[in-house]
Amino acid sequence: MPGVLIFKETLLQPSETFILAQTGALKEYAPVLAGLERAHPSLPLPHEPILLSRRGWPISDFRAKLYRRTGIAPSFHRKAKQPRPALIHAHFATGGRTALPLARELGVPLLVTLHGFDVTFSGIRQEQYKRLAEEASLFVCVSEFIRNCALALGFPAEKLITHYIGIDRELFAPGAPARPRGGILFVGRLIEKKGCEYLLRAMKRVQGAHPGCEVTIVGDGPLRPGLEALARELGIRCKFRGVQPASVVRECLQEAKIFCVPSVTAANGDSEGLGMVFAEAQAMGVPVVSTKHGGIPEVVASQETGLLATERDIEALADALVLLLSDEDLWQRFHRAAQQRVEKHFDLTAQTKLLEKIYKTVATSE
């Protein structure tokens, strides 16, 4: 079985379960994880990764910076050669740029998945990715939105394809909730892009119409203290649960009536490439209320599996939430359609099989 080196500069942030799921679903290629260092905290990895250095080692940060600048690390390259990979699959354009010297040293093609901030951040200049655009064999875009962003940055159209990452529909299955579904669930980092502030402000109106409706916030980030203060100021029923393991997130989805992450374009341009959590919610039959932002309209079909408001439109967001809480027939229709949409477009097994065909094309064309 041919091997593939799955490269991510930092392996792997707790929010990057989609990378681990895709890696674990490979059947025709043997994956080996590689990167500059281990994240702290990190997701549990299926095997020991190939690392440039371990976090906490003396001068580990210096070694990572030096490698990004020079691409020289003989021992790291020797370890990466041992599995005899047929290609390297790097995640994020930044990771692809860092992996270029490794691909040259190993003499294998480089495929790069473009996810979001790596091509939406307003500070990016075309020349930053010029060499990557020239040398990488192919760029896999997680949405058409991201493909268009990459085109605007000068990536060659013939090297850009759109491919949706799938989710495990056995893991994210509807099932029977432990108690009747109720309330609104937010899952995400508490940063500007996720738009949690707008959900909290909308909840003031929502709870006026549905006093018993509570919003649960799962996640953490730099904006948490300010958001907690805003919730107290608004006097809304709101529970902040911090970062939770995937099992708890699934339990929360199981019992939620509506999933709502009203993402917005951040001041620095950062945008949602797609948002796998929207697919996870829909796989569990939870209708979505969100925004017409980034790649979200590609995963959430407005008026079919959920309702999408204009970014930062608090009144429209509140109206959508109230409508879904009030209209049980509409909720049931979205509940069924959401599962069907995920089955058709975001099934992990089917999407990973397509990815392996992409791998084969890249590996045999070099």
- Assign residue 330 the CATH number of its domain: 3.40.50.2000
Residue 162: pLDDT above 70? yes
**What is the structure's pLDDT at 59?**
62
Confidence of residue 343 (pLDDT cuts 50, 70, 90): very high
The reply to whether 175 falls in a domain is: no
**Number of compact structural domains in the chain:** 2
Q: Residue 23 in contact with residue 33, Cβ under 8 Å?
A: yes
Q: Choose the weakest-confidence range: 20-24, 58-62, 132-136, 362-366.
A: 58-62
Do the domain assignments include residue 201? yes
Pair (33, 102) in one structural domain: yes
What is the model's pTM? 0.93
Q: Taking a C-beta distance cutoff of 8 angstroms, is the pair 160, 148 a contact? A: no
pLDDT tens-digit map of 6-21: 999 999 988 898 999 9
pLDDT score of 179: 66
Percent of the chain with pLDDT over 70: 97
Same domain, 237 and 257: yes
Asked whether the beta carbons of 76 and 46 are under 8 A apart, the reply is no
In this model, does residue 58 exceed pLDDT 60? no
Is-contact 214 181, C-beta < 8 A?
A: no
In a domain, 179, yes or no: no
Distance between CA 76 and CA 5 in Å, rounded?
13
| pLDDT higher than 90, residue 145 | yes
Q: Nearest 5 degrees, angle CA 168-CA 310-CA 234? A: 90
Residue 60 pLDDT class (50, 70, 90 cuts): confident
User: Which of 288, 296, 299 is CA-nearest to residue 351?
Assistant: 299
Q: What is the DSSP letter of 234?
A: H
Is residue 278 domain-shared with residue 149, that is, in the same domain?
no
Burial class (CB in 10 A: 0-12, 13-18, 19+), 275: buried
166-189 per-residue burial string, b: 16 or more CB within 10 A, e: under 16: bbbbeebebeebeeeeebbbbbbb
Residue 196 sits in the same domain as residue 335: yes
Query: Are 148 and 18 found together in one domain?
Result: yes
- The answer to the question of residue 173 being in a domain is no
Residue 308 domain flag: yes
Distance of alpha carbon 132 from alpha carbon 102, whole angstroms: 13
Does residue 178 lie in a domain region?
no
Q: pLDDT at position 284, please? A: 96
- The residue segments making up the domain with residue 240 are 184-345
Q: What pLDDT is stored for residue 215 in this prediction?
A: 98
Note whether residue 356 is domain-resident: yes
Domain check: are 127 and 215 in the same one?
Answer: no
- 68-126, pLDDT tens digit by residue? 999 999 999 999 999 999 999 999 999 999 999 999 999 999 999 999 999 998 888 87
Q: Band of the pLDDT at 187, cuts 50, 70, 90?
A: very high
Indicate whether 19 belongs to any domain: yes
**Same domain for 323 and 351?**
no
How high is the pLDDT of residue 42? 87
Task: Please check whether residues 83 and 206 belong to one and the same domain.
Answer: no
Which residues have CB under 8 Å from 238's CB, separation 6+? 200, 203, 214, 215, 216, 217, 231
**Across residues 30-57, what is the average pLDDT?**
88
Q: Are the CB atoms for 191 and 226 separated by under 8 Å?
A: no
312 and 335, same domain (yes or no): yes
Residue 176 pLDDT level (bands cut at 50, 70, 90): confident
